[in-house]
Structures are given as structure tokens and as C-alpha cells.
Amino acid sequence: MNEVMVTINDKPTNIGMESKLIDVLNKQGIPSEGCAIAVNNKVVPKSKWNTIELQKGDTLSVFRAIAGG
């Protein structure tokens, strides 16, 4: 299986050649609720997570909402 390297929160990660953002998030155990995702420093609306195809060298930043009190 061909794989490409992307970076998720500063961690190099191999993914499948034709990986949609939502599939990579699911495989990495990243929840779809309470998170914001940026690909190459551009925030991706959740409505587009299932259409974005990740490419070799892409950088993902995952931000999780944290409740305080």
C-alpha cells in the first residue's frame, strides 16, 4: 500500500495515498466533536472534512476545546 507523510500536531504520520481528512482523523482517534482542524495553517470548516484530500507534506493542527472553571 502506498503511503504519504503528513504532520499532525508536529508528529510525522504516514497515511494512505488517497486519504480524506475525516478518514485520517478517525484513524488517529481524533474526535469530530469539540475540535477545530487547520490544514497548512488554514482552518477547515467541519462541513468540508469529508471532501478534503490530504497530500504529501500537509501539516494538520488539531485544536480541542477545553472547559475551565
DSSP conformation letters of 12-67:
EEEEETT-BHHHHHHHTT--SSSEEEEETTEEE-GGGTTTPBP-TT-EEEEEE---
pLDDT of residue 1: 54
Instruction: Enumerate domains of the chain plus CATH numbers.
Output: 3-64 (3.10.20.30)
pLDDT of residue 9: 96
Q: Quote the pTM value.
A: 0.86
The x, y and z cell numbers of residue 37, run together, are 482542524
Digits of tens for pLDDT over the chain (69 positions)?
A: 577 899 999 999 999 877 899 999 999 999 888 899 999 999 999 999 999 999 999 999 999 877 766
